[in-house]
């Protein structure tokens, strides 16, 4: 599977739903470029499941921090807009995501997730009797995450297996690091956080950094 890092995000319109019950189209590439903002796009397997609501709520809790960093947050799965809206209207006590305000893509035709190569298709086989392609696996997405810059270029991607929830703070750190590179021209060493020393991307710069850390 080819990486998306360093490439323009796919230019594709996808159905989406928000907490007001509005169905509309979102083009993630255009959201970044037209609004001159970074975008965090995170995919999760299914609505009304177990790890997924904890992640959507965690991103909601951090939404203000992403907004401070000029970063839009967009969720995504292969559920339909109607299922998204039902989940958005289900209380936390019942496993719902009531109170989530960022948009959620409804890639029910799997066009975008197929382009990205993040679907859980463990095997495909041709069935001669029915003359069809049979898919083994749920054909839903892994927990894939994309960070996209203001030019629509992907600067981070990661994919977790279904049981592994994400650390939202790590994505804030990555946005901070990339912004530092953009603004200062320095590179960010291991475990870098906002306020810590970065370094020049030269042999002397590395030597100076290692000598003092």
What is the gyration radius of the CA atoms in the chain, in angstroms? 19
Among the options 52, 88, 116, 188, which is catalytic? 52
> Is 52 in the active site?
yes
Q: Is residue 63 part of a domain?
A: yes
What CATH number did the domain enclosing 56 receive? 3.40.30.10
The predicted-structure confidence for 62-110, as pLDDT tens digits, reads as follows 999 999 999 999 999 999 999 999 999 999 999 999 999 999 999 999 9
Dist CA 198 CA 190 (whole Å): 10
Q: Examine the pLDDT at 120 and tell me if it is beyond 80.
A: yes
Q: For residues 180 and 38, is the Cβ–Cβ distance under 8 A?
A: no
Instruction: Give the alpha-carbon dihedral of 196, 201, 206, 209, to 10 degrees.
Output: -20
Q: How many domains does the chain have?
A: 1
d(CA 77, CA 107): 6
Please report where in the chains the tokens 């995000």 appear, as a residue: 9
In a domain, 178, yes or no: no
pLDDT of residue 50: 95
Instruction: Name which of 24-38, 174-188, 192-206 the model is least confident about.
Output: 192-206
Q: Of 52, 172, 26, which Cα lies nearest the Cα of 104?
A: 26
Which residues contact residue 68 at a Cβ distance below 8 angstroms, ignoring those fewer than 6 apart?
A: none
| Structural domain includes residue 210 | no
Q: Which of 21-30, 51-60, 94-103, 131-140 has the lowest mean pLDDT?
A: 131-140
* CA neighbor of 173 nearest in space, from 194, 142, 149, 198: 194
Q: pTM here?
A: 0.92
pLDDT for 179 equals: 98
2, 3, 21, 121, 125 from 136: Cα distances, Å: 22, 24, 33, 6, 8
For 20, counting Cβ atoms within 10 Å of its Cβ (0-12 exposed, 13-18 middle, 19+ buried), the class is: exposed
Q: How confident is the model at residue 133 (pLDDT cuts 50, 70, 90)?
A: confident
Tell me if 197 is assigned to some domain: no
Q: E strand or H helix at 13, and its extent?
A: strand 13-17
In a domain, 188, yes or no: no
Residues 38, 69: contact at Cβ < 8 Å? yes
Residue 213 to residue 107: CA distance in whole angstroms: 46
Q: What is the pLDDT of residues 187-203, one digit of tens each?
A: 999 999 999 999 999 99
Give the domain extent around 59.
13-166
Determine which helix (DSSP H) or strand (DSSP E) holds 67, and give its type and residue range.
helix 63-68
Q: What is the mean pLDDT of residues 111-139?
A: 80
Query: Is-contact 14 112, C-beta < 8 A?
Result: yes
Q: How confident is the model at residue 24 (pLDDT cuts 50, 70, 90)?
A: very high
The percent of the chain in helix, strand and coil, each rounded to the nearest 5, is 30, 25, 40
206 within a domain of the structure (yes/no): no
| Residue 88 is assigned to a structural domain of this protein | yes
What mean pLDDT, rounded, does the chain reach?
94
d(CA 86, CA 136): 28
User: Is 70 part of any domain?
Assistant: yes
């Amino acid at each position: 599977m080819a990486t998306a890092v360093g490439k323009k995000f796919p230019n594709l319109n996808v159905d989406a739903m928000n907490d007001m019950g509005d169905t509309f189209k979102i083009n993630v590439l255009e959201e970044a470029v037209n609004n001159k903002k970074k975008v965090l796009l995170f995919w999760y397997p299914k609505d009304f499941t177990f790890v997924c609501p904890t992640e959507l709520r965690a991103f909601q809790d951090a939404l203000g921090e992403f907004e401070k960093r000029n970063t839009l947050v967009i969720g995504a799965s292969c559920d339909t807009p109607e299922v998204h809206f039902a989940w958005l209207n289900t209380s936390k006590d019942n496993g719902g995501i009531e109170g989530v305000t960022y948009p959620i893509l409804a890639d029910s035709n799997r066009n975008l997730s197929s382009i990205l190569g993040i679907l859980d298709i463990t095997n495909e086989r041709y069935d001669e009797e029915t003359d069809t392609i049979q898919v083994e696996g749920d054909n839903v997405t892994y927990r894939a995450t994309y960070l996209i810059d203001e030019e629509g270029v992907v600067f981070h991607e990661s994919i977790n297996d279904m049981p592994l929830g994400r650390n939202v703070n790590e994505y804030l750190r990555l946005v901070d690091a990339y912004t530092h590179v953009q603004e200062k021209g320095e590179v960010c060493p291991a475990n870098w956080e906002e306020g810590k020393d970065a370094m020049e991307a030269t042999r002397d710069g590395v030597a100076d950094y290692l000598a003092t850390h």
